[in-house]
Amino acid sequence: MQQVNSANNQTDLIELDSGKVPLWEGFREAFILHLADNALILAQRNSEWCGHGPVLEQDIAITNISLDLLGQARNLYQYAALLINKEPHNLSASSLHSGGKEVTEDSLSFLRTEREFKNCLLVEQPNGNWGYTILRQYLFSVYQFLLYGQLQYSEDENLAAIAVKSLKEVTYHVRWSSEWVIRLGDGTAESHKKMVQALEEVWSFTGELFLPEPYENEAITGFDLVALQHSWLQQITNVLKEATLFSSALNEKVFMQSGGKKGLHTEHMGYILAELQFMQRAYPDAEW
Amino acid sequence: MVVTDNNNFIENITANEKAVAAIWNLLEEVYDPEIPVLSIIDLGIVRDVVLTSSVNENIEATIVITPTYSGCPAMDAISMDIRLKLIEHGYKNIKINTMLSPAWTTEWISETGKEKLKAYGIAPPNAKQIVCDTKLFVELEAIQCPVCNSYSTKLISQFGSTPCKALYQCQHCKEPFEYFKCH
Ligand SMILES: [Zn+2]
């Protein structure tokens, strides 16, 4: 990501603080940004493992996954920018609204405010231990696998192309993370204990994936979040059983955290953005 | 008069075809920065070369490429290298378009490309292989050791030094090697 359009947006930021909720009027743009934000924020989280993985090969694996996700985010942001620039009035309530400048993949990732990010809460949670990171990756990768599996047939050709491309990568993510979930869950007493704990912590963030936002219902015809949830539950149940982590409690209705997809994030999100956006905020338009 | 025009027309077409063929040849000299034995033609990422000339004879060369992997950092470098190569040969007006669909697959790597990979010590992607499948938990196919040709090899990691490679080790000659994984 090199070129960044500057958004000299002091006034807009102040307006946002005074309670103006930024919304994208276009459902399609919002949906694509939601997908992009999920990929970007999880890429950012996973990249924190760089140089800290338990063994070299797995350090390389998690950072490769991070790179794949970043690539998906770039494709999605580029497409979102294309759509937004066609209908610039959709920008009116955004912090990127400044002097008729076109938005780019860079301004979308580096210059939007927290409330404008539509990623689910799951991806912004701190990495915790290796087991937690793996389990989150697994649960999210299965979701992405099924999601892109649906979107590859979308009538939106650009989105379908991105989905086909991403699906190949996500397949590797699911294979890799599920093997680790099984290895750790069905491993030593200590690793099992940590995975049970991780599952307890992560579970309440999974419900939001399937809690439909208007932009998910309206953006793409034929996109079926209910069917997606059904397949997701089936698939993760099989692996969790093999990992000796399954408990019937997972099928019970429990309280689920939500808000991220609307732009209401946990306290962790601000810190992620502070790190992610620091360079462009401190040195606007800086390039490599 | 009519005949002459027609001849000119045909001449122009052949000239354009020749120029396009010349660019394809030039692109043979642009290499993947991460696997420097492979040209971008070997990799199969060049999808199209289009030449258009406007009234002022300013020829525009459009190169259409497709990314190997979404996050492949080599793509930016490759675009730059294509640009430099064409500038070197007198083209001034160069456009590089990225095309996502149809998605690149390892099946587009040329046979020469696969041979070059093997000689370089990277096991080339198997021709038809189930690992390509987006189905999960399929049986992994045997990968041949690029050093001793043994099929008795084991997967060490699905992820390697670049997004396109996996790590293997040969059980026979013990050599660790990289496999250009199937996509
Ligand atoms: Zn060998």
State what percent of residues in chain A have pLDDT above 90: 70
The chain-wide mean pLDDT, for chain B, equals 85
Q: Which residues contact A117 (CB under 8 A, 6 or more apart)?
A: A37, A41, A260, A263, A265, A269, A273
Chain A CB contacts of B134 under 8 Å are: 145, 149, 167-168, 171
Query: How many Cβ atoms sit within 10 Å of the Cβ of residue B116?
Result: 18
Q: Is A1 within a domain?
A: no
The amino acid sitting at A208 is E
Strand partners, B97: B64
Task: Determine the average pLDDT of the residues in A13-20.
Answer: 36
Domain, as residue range, for A28 = 24-282
Burial class of residue A11 in the structure, from the number of CB atoms within 10 Å of its CB (0-12 exposed, 13-18 middle, 19+ buried): exposed
* pLDDT recorded at residue A5: 39
Mutate to test the interface with B, among A172, A183, A242 (most CBs of B within 10 A): A172
Q: Which of B73, B158, B160 is nearest residue A175 as measured by Cβ atoms? A: B158
Chain B CB contacts of A106 under 8 Å are: none
Q: Which two tokens stand for residue A284?
A: 């606007």
**Residues A10 and A92 sit within 8 Å (Cβ to Cβ):** no
Q: Which of B69, B137, B157 is nearest residue A169 as measured by Cβ atoms? A: B69
Q: How far is B48 from chain A (nearest CA, A)?
A: 18
End-to-end Cα distance, chain A:
9
Q: Does residue A178 sit at the B interface (CB-CB below 8 Å)?
A: yes
Q: Which two tokens stand for residue B29?
A: 């000299």
CA of B116 relative to ligand 1 center, distance in Å: 17
CA of B147 relative to ligand 1 center, distance in Å: 5
Give per-residue pLDDT as tens, A217-236.
Answer: 877 877 889 999 999 999 99
Lateral strand order in the sheet of B153-157: B122-123, B176-180, B165-170, B153-157
Q: Which of A160, A166, A171 is nearest residue B70 as measured by Cβ atoms? A: A166
Q: What is the CATH number of domain B3-104?
A: 3.30.300.130
Q: Is A14 within a domain?
A: no
Q: How far is B114 from chain A (nearest CA, A)?
A: 21
Q: Residue B179 in 3-state DSSP?
A: strand
> Are B103 and A61 inside 8 Å of each other by CB?
no
Q: What angle do CA B179, B180, B183 make, to 5 degrees?
A: 130
Give per-residue pLDDT as tens, B148-175.
Answer: 999 999 988 888 888 788 899 999 999 9
Which has the higher per-residue pLDDT, B55 or A69? A69
Q: How far is B54 from chain A (nearest CA, A)?
A: 27
Strand partners, A112: none
At A265, which CATH number? 1.20.1260.10
Q: CA-based Rg of chain B, rounded to a whole angstrom?
A: 20
Give per-residue pLDDT as tens, A177-216.
Answer: 999 999 999 999 999 999 999 999 999 999 999 999 988 8
Task: Determine the average pLDDT of the residues in B61-67.
Answer: 93
Q: Which of A67, A160, A172 is nearest residue B158 as measured by Cβ atoms? A: A172
Q: Residue B177 in 3-state DSSP?
A: strand
Q: Does residue A65 sit at the B interface (CB-CB below 8 Å)?
A: yes
* pLDDT recorded at residue A93: 58
A250-259, B51-60, B82-91: which is most confident: B82-91
Sequence ranges of chain B with CATH classification 3.30.300.130: 3-104
Helices first, then strands: H and E counts in chain B: 4, 9
Round to whole Å and give the CA distance between A47 and A27: 30
* pLDDT recorded at residue A63: 95
> Are A71 and B136 inside 8 Å of each other by CB?
no
CA of B120 relative to ligand 1 center, distance in Å: 14
Range in A21-25, A121-125, A135-139, A260-264 the model is least confident about: A21-25
Mutate to test the interface with A, among B47, B65, B69, B70 (most CBs of A within 10 A): B70
> Are A157 and B181 inside 8 Å of each other by CB?
no
Q: Is A176 within a domain?
A: yes
> Are A167 and B69 inside 8 Å of each other by CB?
no
CA atoms B77, B83, B88, B89: torsion sign? positive
Q: Which of A36, A246, A141, A232 is nearest to A133 (CA)?
A: A141
Chain B CB contacts of A64 under 8 Å are: 159-160, 163
Q: Is the pLDDT of residue A160 over 60?
A: yes
Give per-residue pLDDT as tens, A82-129.
Answer: 988 887 766 655 667 656 678 999 999 999 999 999 999 999 999 999
**Residues A119 and A32 sit within 8 Å (Cβ to Cβ):** no
Q: Is A18 within a domain?
A: no
Q: Which of B136, B156, B163 is nearest residue A171 as measured by Cβ atoms? A: B136
Q: Is A16 within a domain?
A: no
Q: Which of A165, A168, A175 is nearest residue B100 as measured by Cβ atoms? A: A165
Q: How far is A145 from chain B (nearest CA, A)?
A: 9
Q: Is A7 within a domain?
A: no
Query: How many Cβ atoms sit within 10 Å of the Cβ of residue A241?
Result: 14
Which has the higher per-residue pLDDT, B178 or A100? B178
pLDDT grade for B10, boundaries at 50, 70 and 90: low
3-state SS track over chain A: CCCCCCCCCHHHHHHHHCCCCCCCCCHHHHHHHHHHHHHHHHHHHHHCCCCCCCCHHHHHHHHHHHHHHHHHHHHHHHHHHHHHHHCHHHHCCCCCCCCCCCCCHHHHHHCCCHHHCCCCHHHHCCCCCHHHHHHHHHHHHHHHHHHHHHHCCCCCHHHHHHHHHHHHHHHHHHHHHHHHHHHHHCCCHHHHHHHHHHHHHHHCCCHHHHCCCHHHHHHCCCCCHHHHHHHHHHHHHHHHHHCCCCCHHHHCCCCCCCCHHHCCCCCHHHHHHHHHHHHHHHCCCCCC
Structural domain total, chain A: 1
Q: Which of A48, A47, A243 is nearest to A139 (CA)?
A: A243
Q: Is the pLDDT of residue B112 over 50?
A: yes
For B162, the closest chain A residue by CA position comes to: A64
Chain B CB contacts of A158 under 8 Å are: 100
